[in-house]
Structure 1
């Protein structure tokens, strides 16, 4: 299996992103009895799939200086969906590639939050919010370290936690930052952030991608 920015793929198989397609409609009753209703397709629960459309809306309405971090969140949700489907055939080689991608794309995101946003929030007395974010980061780092060894259970845990963490930051952390932090703090975040959609595109992919 190979892992790359365009998605995860098993050797000799169609891209796993094909599995994201909307499921087909349930079959109709044949013959259709008078008064019988057409079966409706099942829909995933709210917790089953990340709400990428909602996040795109949030990015548009986010403070401009946080657009880069919110764009990272969109990429993280796409990654989480890919990983959920890759877990069944996860290998150590996949895990090592994912760990490299984590270091390249997610660790810089964490670093901006931990060095700029969180100290500023702690200074305003928002320690509970800060500790929640730090605990999430620690859990994600632990899961990625285990997933890098080929541990599929840790991979599933990472994907689920990443989705939950992104939602928490978009619903709780970033609104608090917009309301409470000085403009200079947000300007520093913008200075350190990539342009929206740019973190994964600033470097050429390594040979194994």
Structure 2
């Protein structure tokens, strides 16, 4: 018998971060599809660079500014998330050994997003005060995703 995860209940104030995470998971899918179809790593890297600059960097900054302070820098889950952010930044900015790097991006971004969604955000929702959640809703503007259609290598 296959066990299915129950849908996660996300507080309204941080649903926008989850929608941004969805775009990150789609990037992982695009990378997998590109690799499977034999797309050059240079093409994948070019799209990854665009995604990183336009979506991932601002997303990380917003999480670190609005969400992570709820638990504080000394919290083990926050330390893990910050370490993963730094690792992903290094991977996205790596210029050498692109085959290996792109595979690591796909694996680590997927794992990081699932950690934040399934574990970190659940704890934050439990521990945040109503005023902290309200502050997130007031201050965070969802990063509207606009696709880069210059080279849809995954099609």
Say if 2:141 is the partner of 1:193.
yes
Give the counterpart of 1:168 among 115, 121, 134: 115
**1:88-134 deviation per Cα after TM superposition (whole angstroms, max 9, x unaligned):** 433334313321211211222111111122122117xx521111000
Judge conservation of contact 1:143–1:157 (CA < 8 Å) in 2: yes
2:9 counterpart of 1:64: no
The yes-or-no answer on 1:89 pairing with 2:77 is: no
Q: CA deviation at 1:145?
A: 1.2
Identify unmatched segments of 5+ residues in structure 2. Answer: none
Question: Could you tell me how far 1:150 is from its partner in structure 2?
Answer: 7.1
Q: 1:66-145 residue pairs with structure 2 within 5 A?
A: 66-87=14-35, 88-122=38-72, 127-145=75-93
Secondary structure of the residue aligned to 1:199 is coil
Aligned-partner Cα distance in 1 for 2:150–2:32 = 24
Q: CA RMSD in A?
A: 2.7
Gaps of at least 5 residues in structure 1 are 1-45
2:103 alignment partner, one of 146, 156, 161: 156
TM-score, length-normalised on structure 2? 0.80
Deviations 1:154-184 (A, max 9, x none): 1110111111111111111111111111223
Q: Where is the helix percentage greater, Structure 1 or Structure 2?
A: 2
Task: Name the larger-Rg structure.
Answer: 1
* Residue in 2 that maps onto 1:179: 126
How far the C-alpha of 1:139 sits from its partner, in A, is 1.1
Aligned equivalents of 2:136 and 2:91: distance in 1? 26
Larger RCO (CA within 8 A; separation ≥ 6): 2
